[in-house]
Chains A and B, each alone.
Chain A
Amino acid sequence: MSLNRNMKYTAVLLVAASVLLALPQVHAANLKPGDALPALKAKDFEGALPELAGKVVLLDFWASWCGPCKASLPQLDKLYREYGKRGFVILGVSVDESSADMKAFLEAHPVSFPTVRDKAQTLVGQVSVDVMPTSLLINREGKVTKIHSGYQGEKTVEELRAEIEQLLGAP
């Protein structure tokens, strides 16, 4: 077969384009400490958003199918009950595709902090978490101060406790 020059260029371009499109998408967290939290009210959530303005917020992405999330939620609930009165709030964001899965999980593992479901997974996609669970600590000015990827038991809890106390200031 003899391809003329234009055909050759077209063929090379096609192959290059297909290989580029097929490459795994490079995964990088979009949010980093210092960034402002995206506007939550514009997102399509199932469940009511609590008042977050002026509060220290822990935004926790979890899912009913995620084992470490099951371990982390009771510990986060303890932190919420401990620091809630001082202006600390946890917002659980379920990334479950099914509302029934989230509800069944919460019935079996109830938490006292507010939880919403990111129905179209827009917020989690915007934040682009690396692992599940991931939690973002946000200061009173609405800026992300720390991103916790994964849950490492007591180590994560102690880190969170220290960071929350620092953000809340003196009681």
Chain B
Amino acid sequence: MKQIIFYMLVLVAVASMLTGCKTVQPWERGTMADYTMRPDRDPLTVSFGEHIYFTREAAAGGRGVGGGGCGCN
């Protein structure tokens, strides 16, 4: 019986965690569109990353998409 209660509690915990999932609506994307959400906001970090890609994979460039995360238009 204790085992059953344990598994039921686990199920309830998982169920309650899953209900935390939420779709961010188009008008709620202000935070995602913030400048701090841009992966290329720090030029030094970008150049480090580029250097790693270049030395490890002989790859360069290809970071062409600008803008934040507002997903506008």
Contact = CB atoms under 8 A, between A and B. Distances in A.
Q: Do A and B bind each other?
A: yes
Interface residues of B, number: 28
A14 B30 CA distance: 34
Interface string B3-34: 11001100110111011011101111110011
Interface of A: 1, 3, 7, 10-11, 14-15, 17-19, 21-22, 24-25, 27, 61, 63-69, 95-97, 101, 121, 124-125, 128-134, 150-152
B23 A132 contact: no
Contacts of B14: 18
Contact of A132 (B16, B19, B70): B70
B65 to A, nearest CB: 13
In order of increasing CB-CB distance, the 10 nearest A-B pairs are: A18-B15, A22-B18, A65-B33, A150-B73, A95-B27, A18-B18, A21-B19, A22-B21, A124-B27, A65-B30
Interface string B37-73: 0000000000000000000000000000001101111
A8 to B, nearest CB: 11
A27 B4 contact: no
Given A15-B11, A150-B73, A132 B21 contact: no
